[in-house]
Amino acid sequence: MELSSILKPEAVRILSAASSKKRLFQEIADVASAALSMDAQAIVESLLERESLGPTGVGHGVALPHARLPDIDSVTGVFVLLEKPIDFGSVDRQPVDLAFSLFAPEDAGVDHLKALALVSRTLREQTVCAKLRANPDPVKIYAILTEAQSVQAA
């Protein structure tokens, strides 16, 4: 599995005005809605439902919100760089400025877990995160993410 098969260039965004976790989820859902041809509110509700099980802020300014959705065919990602970090309830209590959301079919099973592991490995690399934060351009961010993953595979 490769990041380029999960994340499309048009699903990478820079956000200047997400003031809360719920607002961030709305922004992510708007992007995902276009990519998945689904109602954005249903996506927000799925993200909030998953988040109620435990925070998806994994530390070091990174969050991996994810949800299973009906009527989608494959795992799909949305990446967001926040210009102003927000409180996310992360495990290390640090605000979040990098969010990679994954949406999987309800019966995805192993594919969903593989995608989460891939994204987690990629964003655990501090050099990758530093590059993402230093390049607030969606085209560059997409290149950094997909290049980082291919370098790790080598």
Determine the Cα–Cα distance for residues 9 and 12; give it in Å rounded to an integer: 6
Q: Evaluate if pTM is beyond 0.85.
A: yes
Instruction: Check residue 54 and give its pLDDT.
Output: 87
Residue 47: burial class (beta carbons within 10 Å; 0-12, 13-18, 19+)? buried
Region of 23 (left: φ > 0; alpha: ψ -120 to 50; beta: rest) is alpha
Q: What is the DSSP letter of 16?
A: S
Place of tokens 């926040």: 82
Q: Which of 21, 66, 68, 112 is catalytic?
A: 66
Active site residue 112: no
Number of compact structural domains in the chain: 1
Instruction: Check residue 90 and give its pLDDT.
Output: 86
Both tokens of 129, joined, read 């995160």
Determine the Cα–Cα distance for residues 48 and 20; give it in Å rounded to an integer: 13
pLDDT in tens, 67-114: 999 888 889 999 999 999 999 988 899 999 999 999 999 887 788 888
CATH number of domain containing 92: 3.40.930.10
Q: Is residue 47 scored above 50 in pLDDT? A: yes
DSSP string, 81-133: EEEEEE----TT-PPEEEEEEEEEETT-THHHHHHHHHHHHHHH-HHHHHHHH
Range of the domain at 123: 3-153
